[in-house]
Amino acid sequence: MRIGLVQLNPVVGDIIGNTERLQTAIAQFDAEIILTPEMSICGYPPRDLLCNNDFVRACEQAVLQIACTCPDKLVVLGHPRIDASTGRVRNSASVIYGGEIIEVSDKQLLPSYDVFDEKRYFETGQKICTFTIDETKIGIAICEDFWQGNDADVAPTYDINPVQQLVEEGCKIILSPSASPFVTSKHSSHLQYALQVAQENNVIIAMCNQVGGNDDLVFDGGSFVVSSNGLLGELPLFDTGLITVDLNTVPVEPTLLPSEQEQWKALVLGTKDYVQKTGHSKVILGISGGIDSALVATIAVAALGADSVQGVLMPSRYSSRGSIEDAERLARNLGVCTDTLPIEHLHSAFERTFSDGCHNPTSLAEENVQARIRGLLLMALTNSDGSLLLATGNKSELAVGYSTLYGDMNGAVSVIGDVYKTDVWALSNWVNQNYETCGFSSAPIPENSIAKQPSAELRPDQCDQDSLPEYDELDSVLRLHIDHELGIEDLKDALPVSPERITKIVRMVDIAQFKREQASVIFKTSPRTFGRGRRMPIVMKRSWVNVRETL
């Protein structure tokens, strides 16, 4: 038996375009079974489009259209559907053959943790779905029905196990249409888990995952077929592709990427798809000579090409000559055009206006106004030419509020908003060391941008550590607190950091929530990402008794 995998990059809501791409791909296969990703008809996640019955009906019609145009193919298509008996929407996969739907699988486990909110939209499927080909029983486990939250720290423990139900029903092949968002190193754990399930139950597993960027989520593809003997075939990470896997083939070694390369490819793909799928062709960003803007500019050029990226230098009275030279060197390395818009005139005008009103700005207000002048100029430029503004802040800054609302936080999308500062350095070094892999003829990021002490340069002799702990220490706390939900007491046990410092850092995270609520869309690359993945209250107080002390 041969199984075909269709790893496509859908546009959410583009039912007509997605259907055409699926028809073209399906026509190329000579396989007994053709598997597509979860929600392949409409793209994942469709979010509140699912509240529109016309949208769901159009998806159902598209399934019938493909069935009629590919009558000699057995295809598993992912789509939403309205259940005839309940009138509720379900997350489904239809098996089509001979011009009609022969079976329908409804997802039973609906994730509603992290970035997922499926219980908001879908009714729970009530039973497993199986069908038979040449006396071989085949079952379907849609995404979470197969993964069961084993790839996420915050997932619940489910009361049912659809995979075990399929095995007990006698299925020898399990098909898993998936739309699993990228998190660094997640593909490796997916592959290991699938191999474990295949070996323990002596079954073949075919998983077809969506690829491409949709809003804040990046899907890495990496579809595969495994048996109890090993990996039988796979599709590339972060790219579209088709493959036919003969189930009698000899197992092969998996293609696994270093974590830095995974993260790089995810950010490049997310940037490319966000810009192109929103109908834009150009981006603008401020480049300061610092490492954050240097990395974002490099990602943008890799995603869109140098001609589509505009850098803007906005020196102030506090900008060092070295920073200006680093920004100019970056632009030359990347081949991007730049504008230079000094902010001194606007800064002085602000000071005069404040003074005329008998106001004396604090040092913080004086610093922030410079960032907001830069944000104003950048937004004006995007309005002038229809480009998108890229925000350049990192996750460490967003976590503790070391960022300015309506200033450096401005942007349509935050490219590295889920990358801690220490990872920004690591990724930048990796890019320079692997510049050919990244598509450059030489190391693109100026070495001085990586090596120098980070500074916002909003006052004389300023450096980040005037206001923050050293980034190694800061990020060690933030990773455990944000990505793995450790509270203050657990952090004190886990880290060689003073209790006072831990408490202060967590407090900084809490009081910066109102800023993050107004932040740009952030590409998800870690277990917990600011935005939909971490829904914390703005008005809150950490006032509860340590349970361990009362037991």
The answer to whether 175 touches 141, Cβ cutoff 8 Å, is yes
- Percentage helix, strand, coil for the chain under 3-state DSSP, each rounded to 5: 40, 20, 40
Has this prediction a pTM greater than 0.85? yes
The answer to whether 388 touches 283, Cβ cutoff 8 Å, is yes
Query: Is 68 marked active-site?
Result: no
Query: Is 107 marked active-site?
Result: yes
The answer to whether 168 touches 199, Cβ cutoff 8 Å, is no
d(CA 440, CA 93): 42
- Along the 551 residues of the chain, how does pLDDT read in single tens digits? 899 999 999 999 999 999 999 999 999 998 999 999 999 999 999 999 999 999 999 999 999 999 999 889 999 999 999 999 999 999 999 999 999 999 999 999 999 999 999 999 999 999 999 999 989 999 999 999 999 988 777 778 899 999 999 999 999 999 999 999 999 999 999 999 999 999 999 999 999 999 999 999 999 999 999 999 999 999 999 999 999 999 999 999 999 999 999 999 999 999 999 999 999 999 999 999 999 999 999 999 999 999 999 999 999 898 888 889 999 999 999 999 999 999 999 999 998 998 888 888 788 888 889 999 999 999 999 999 999 999 999 999 999 999 999 999 999 999 999 999 999 999 999 999 999 999 999 999 999 999 988 777 677 777 777 778 899 999 999 999 999 999 999 999 999 999 999 999 999 999 999 999 999 999 999 999 999 888 898 998 888 876 655 55
pLDDT of residue 362: 80
Q: Which of 42, 59, 70, 143 is catalytic?
A: 143
Joined together, the tokens standing for residue 309 give 């990226």
Alpha helices (H) along 73-174: 144-147, 162-168
pLDDT of residue 488: 93
How far apart, in Å, do the first and last CA atoms of the chain sit? 59
CA torsion 418-287-438-262 (nearest 10°) is 0
CA 314, chain centre distance (Å)? 30
d(CA 104, CA 286): 51
Q: Which of helix, strand or coil describes residue 38?
A: coil
d(CA 291, CA 314): 16
Query: Is 337 marked active-site?
Result: no
**Domains located in the chain, CATH noted:** 2-250 (3.60.110.10), 263-461 (3.40.50.620)
CA 135, chain centre distance (Å)? 41
d(CA 270, CA 525): 10
Q: Which of 59, 70, 73, 107 is catalytic?
A: 107
CA gyration radius, the chain:
25
Q: Which of 38, 118, 262, 473 is catalytic?
A: 38
